[in-house]
Amino acid sequence: MIYIVSHKNVPLPKRMGYQPIQVGGAAEDFPGYIRDNTGDNISEKNPFYCELTALYWIWKNVVSPFKGLVHYRRYFGRRALSSRPRDILDCDRLCRLLEDRDIVLARPAVYHVNARDQLLMDCCAPETFDRLRATVCELSPDYLDAFDAFFAGNRASQYNLLFCRSAVFDGYCAWLFPILFALEKGVDLSGESDYRKRLYGFLGERLLNVWVAKNGLRAVYAPVVSTEYTLKDHLTYLRRDITNGMRFKLDKGDKRHEV
């Protein structure tokens, strides 16, 4: 089963094997959705954890051979630059992709700076990043090399999108959430904007890449069908990725030649 996360009641593509899951604080229950505030849950953390509250719910409450998470506006697709629901991969196709692979992830975005600097520019204070690294060092010291290598690079699968066998999904969650819960105890977000309060959701995006690299998982990197994007939007992001990749290589070359 693959779960479509949404914080608002919107029409969703009809696909076999997909189930909408409602997150956030809306009082009404959306028709056809399950909610992440039932069973074993962390629904109250949604302003800070974003779609990770659904990830946690799936981990703790779902028994299924396969588990996955997508968004109401972002799905794994069969081709790039598409906004068409008909290009969304059905659950059977996603399962077939795992016949010789371990996990399906979003095709990586490319940054013009390393992943650490990109995170600090967007949503994370330097002291929080240092605390995150220290937390990983304390709880999972064997992950530290993979952590440093990822954050020194400039590519990341984003959005917390994933599809994999249940054992892989559950193993990832069992590693991720103790790190975030431990970090949360030492971070004060009370004075931050609503956007920056979504810190743990942003960190989850990056840590998924760390976990996949450390465990040597064979990933399928699928295009993302973004149903709210126009063709112009898709081309803008494609051009940005190409330009960012060139800028990163040039900057690294310049630094190697510095005296």
Confidence of residue 147 (pLDDT cuts 50, 70, 90): very high
pLDDT-wise least confident of 204-213, 214-223, 243-252: 243-252
Position 259 scores a pLDDT of 44
Mean pLDDT in residue range 147-154: 97
Position 251 scores a pLDDT of 79
Position 258 scores a pLDDT of 52
Position 242 pLDDT exceeds 80: yes
- CA–CA separation, 248 and 110 (whole Å): 9
Q: What are the tens digits of pLDDT across the range 163-182? A: 999 999 999 999 999 999 99
Give the chain's radius of gyration (CA, Å).
18
Mean pLDDT in residue range 6-30: 91
Position 93 pLDDT exceeds 90: yes
Confidence of residue 234 (pLDDT cuts 50, 70, 90): confident
At residue 243, what is the residue type? Answer: T
Phi-psi label, residue 32: left if phi above 0, alpha if psi -120 to 50, beta otherwise: left
Mean pLDDT in residue range 122-130: 92
- CA–CA separation, 230 and 84 (whole Å): 10
DSSP 87: G
Where are the strands (E) in 95-223, listed by range? 103-106, 109-110, 155-156, 162-165, 219-222
Q: What is the pTM of this model?
A: 0.93
Confidence of residue 256 (pLDDT cuts 50, 70, 90): low
Confidence of residue 187 (pLDDT cuts 50, 70, 90): very high
Position 255 scores a pLDDT of 61
Query: In the structure encoding, which two tokens stand for residue 203, read together?
Result: 């960190």
Q: Could you tell me if 104 and 220 are in contact, meaning their C-beta atoms sit under 8 angstroms apart?
A: yes
% residues pLDDT > 90 (the chain): 79
Mean pLDDT in residue range 23-34: 91
- CA–CA separation, 68 and 160 (whole Å): 10
Mean pLDDT in residue range 127-152: 97
Could you tell me which residue, 157 or 254, shows the higher pLDDT? 157
Closest CA to 208 of 166, 167, 162, 170: 162
Confidence of residue 257 (pLDDT cuts 50, 70, 90): very low
pLDDT-wise least confident of 6-15, 42-51, 228-237, 250-259: 250-259
Q: Could you tell me if 112 and 239 are in contact, meaning their C-beta atoms sit under 8 angstroms apart?
A: no
Mean pLDDT over the full length of the chain: 93
Position 223 pLDDT exceeds 60: yes
% residues pLDDT > 70 (the chain): 97
Position 253 scores a pLDDT of 66
Query: In the structure encoding, which two tokens stand for residue 13, read together?
Result: 């593509």
